[in-house]
Amino acid sequence: MKVFSVFFFLLATVVAASHGSQDSSDSSCLSWRFAVEANNIRGWKTVPKECEKYVGHYMLGYQYRKDSKAVTDEAWRYVNSLKLPRDGRNIWIFDVDETSISHVPFFSKHGFGTEPINKTLAYEWVNKSKAPALPESLELYRKLLSLGIKVVFLTGRDEEWRKVSATNLKNVGYHTWEQLILRASSYPTNATVESFKSNEKRKLEEIYGYRIIGNIGDQWADIQGIHRGNRTFKLPNPMYYAP
């Protein structure tokens, strides 16, 4: 599966490059994406239809990978600047979807976020456990482990997806973790991602006694709220919004 992950991203880059550079008419979509990533546009349901081509070029091309690498490189510089106590309590929190693994293969067949997500088709895709790793995140994960920092995966997926989530993560190279936290069936269905993750991070610190050194995700909801950690890092994702 590691080979598949690398192959997919290399193939995607070649395909995008073969379509040439983006048209100047895409400038308004670039501005839309910038506003989304800066969290100035919130609560949006779908990508503007006229931006499907732009978002597709971005996600399959060089820039998405470069932007992701800029984030993970900065995360690595940050952690290398720290003098951490070696007491086994240092953890780094990774979101799962569009952070540790990528659903670009799915969204490339469904309008790159311009269409409302078909839950039936999305669940079929997730159930295959074939989402490739985001290479930059996987590299950061390995580096953190080499420093003795433990990894916690914290996802808004429901508990029923534990097995397929663990399988997918292991298949693409995430072989070990301290905890894999999913949303329990008893958790209020109307709770936001931010409130759920904030509460779980609170428990990690107050109940389990961990020290959250860093926290990385593709949604602002992943990195906002209380108990967010010593430093947060936002990966790009213009395909969907989670409050």
Give the CATH number for residue 54.
Answer: 3.40.50.1000
Q: How confident is the model at residue 167 (pLDDT cuts 50, 70, 90)?
A: very high
Q: What percent of the chain has pLDDT over 70?
A: 90
Q: What mean pLDDT value characterizes the chain?
A: 92
Give the range among 41-50, 65-74, 182-191 with minimum mean pLDDT.
Answer: 182-191
242 domain residue, yes or no: no
241 domain residue, yes or no: no
Domain extent at residue 126 = 2-234
pLDDT value, residue 129: 97
Q: Is the pLDDT of residue 217 over 80?
A: yes
Q: Is the pLDDT of residue 148 over 80?
A: yes
Alpha-helix residue ranges (DSSP H) falling in 104-241: 104-107, 119-127, 135-146, 162-171, 193-206, 220-223
243 domain residue, yes or no: no
Tokens 């926290």, located at residue: 215
Q: Is the pLDDT of residue 89 over 60?
A: yes
Q: Is the pLDDT of residue 6 over 70?
A: no
240 domain residue, yes or no: no
Query: Domain total for the chain?
Result: 1
Q: Judge whether 199 and 183 are in contact, CB under 8 Å.
A: no
62 to each of 54, 140, 172, 219, how far by Cα in Å? 13, 19, 21, 21
- pTM of the predicted structure, to 2 decimals: 0.89
97 domain residue, yes or no: yes
Nearest CA among 65, 75, 63 for reference residue 26: 63
pLDDT value, residue 20: 45
